[in-house]
Amino acid sequence: MAIAKEIEQGQAVYSKAVLRLYDLWVLGLSNRFIWQCPTPLLLAHFNQHISSNHLDVGVGTGYFLNKCRFPSNEVRLGLMDLNQNSLEVATARVARYRPLQFHCNVLDEINIATGKFDTISLNYLFHCLPGKLTEKLSALDHVCTLLSDSGAVFGSTILSKGVHKNAMAKKLMAIYNKKGIFSNVEDCKGDLESYLDNRFNEHSIEIRGCVALFSAKNRR
C-alpha cells in the first residue's frame, strides 16, 4: 500500500498546468544547466535507436516523439503512462501517427492484447518511480513482454550516486526527493549496468552529467 501511495503521489504532480511548463523547465533549462545533459543529446540518443514500430513508456509531453526521425513513413506508435494527463497531451501532440494508448502502472505485470513492438523507450521514468533502482527496474521486465524477439529498449534516467552534481543539482534533487517527485537517492550506474547485463546480450550506458543514457537488446 505504501508503494501504491508513492506511485500515485509521484505521477499526480503532472497536471496539465505543469505539463504546459514541462518543456521549458525540464527540457529547456534543467537538462542543460542542472542535470548537465542537454536535450539535443537525449534526442540524438532517441534518433539512434528508435524504430517505426515503437512503444514510448512514460510519455511526458510527447516532445521526443514529435521531434524524432522515424526510419520510415509507416509508423506504428504506442503510448504508455499511468498519468492520464500525460497520455492526452502526448496523444494530441503526435496525433498524426494515430497512436495507441495504454493506461498502465509499469511496476505491475502488463497484460495487453496487442502486437509486439520493435523498440521501447523509457525516458526520465526510473528516477520518478518509488523504491530502489534494483526493484523498479522490474518495469523493464514488464514492458519487455511487448518487445519483439529482436527488439531493443532504450532510455535515460537521472542518477544520484556516483555522478557529478553541481550545487543546483544537489539542491533540486533533494527537494524533488522530499516531495516524492523523484525517488533516486540511491540510484547508481552499477545497479543499472548489473540489471542490463543479466537480462540482455548487449547493452550500453553513457553518463552525461547526472543522466544515464542506456540501450539494450537481444533479451535472454
Q: What is the pLDDT of residue 161?
A: 97
Q: List, in order, residues 6 or more apart from 207 with CB less than 8 Å away.
A: 159, 163, 189, 213
Q: List, in order, residues 6 or more apart from 195 with CB less than 8 Å away.
A: 133, 134, 137, 140
| 104 pLDDT higher than 80 | yes
The pTM of the full predicted model, rounded to 2 decimals, is: 0.93
DSSP state of 14: -
Residues in the chain, how many?
220
Give the domains, in start order, of the chain with CATH numbers: 2-63+73-102+114-219 (3.40.50.150)
Local confidence band at 219 (pLDDT 50, 70, 90 cut-offs) = low
pLDDT tens-place string over residues 162-211: 999 999 999 999 999 999 999 999 999 999 999 999 999 999 999 999 99
Q: What is the pLDDT of residue 75?
A: 98
| 140 pLDDT higher than 80 | yes
pLDDT tens-place string over residues 115-124: 999 999 999 9
AA identity, residue 118: D
Cβ neighbours of 94 (radius 10 Å): 20
| 4 pLDDT higher than 80 | no
| 14 pLDDT higher than 90 | no
pLDDT tens-place string over residues 51-91: 999 999 999 999 999 999 999 999 999 999 999 999 999 99
